[in-house]
A and B are shown apart, each in its own frame.
Chain A
Amino acid sequence: AQRVTQPEKLLSVFKGAPVELKCNYSYSGSPELFWYVQYSRQRLQLLLRHISRESIKGFTADLNKGETSFHLKKPFAQEEDSAMYYCALSGVSGGYNKLIFGAGTRLAVHP
Chain B
Amino acid sequence: EPEVTQTPSHQVTQMGQEVILRCVPISNHLYFYWYRQILGQKVEFLVSFYNNEISEKSEIFDDQFSVERPDGSNFTLKIRSTKLEDSAMYFCASSKGQNIQYFGAGTRLSVL
Contacts and interface: CB of A to CB of B under 8 A. Distances in A.
Given A44-B43, A98-B33, 8 more contacts: A43-B4, A43-B104, A44-B103, A46-B101, A99-B33, A99-B93, A103-B42, A104-B42
Contacts of B4: 43
A96 B42 contact: no
A49 interface: yes
Contacts of B102: 45-46
A98 B96 CA distance: 13
Contacts of B64: none
B31 A86 contact: no
Contacts of A42: 105
Interface of A: 32, 36, 42-46, 49, 86, 90, 92, 94-104
Number of chain B interface residues as a range: 20 to 34
Contacts of A98: 33, 45, 48, 56, 58
Given A94-B97, A101-B42, A104-B42, A45 B103 contact: yes
Contact of A94 (B42, B49, B99, B101): B99
A90 B35 CA distance: 14
Contacts of A101: 42-44
6 smallest beta-carbon distances between A and B, as pairs: A98-B45, A44-B103, A101-B43, A96-B31, A43-B105, A96-B48
Nearest to A97: B99
A90 B99 contact: yes
Given A98-B56, A101-B42, A43 B106 contact: yes
Contacts of A46: 100-102
Contacts of B49: 96
A96 B50 contact: yes
A95 B97 contact: yes
Interface in B3-62: 3-4, 31, 33, 35, 41-45, 48-50, 55-56, 58
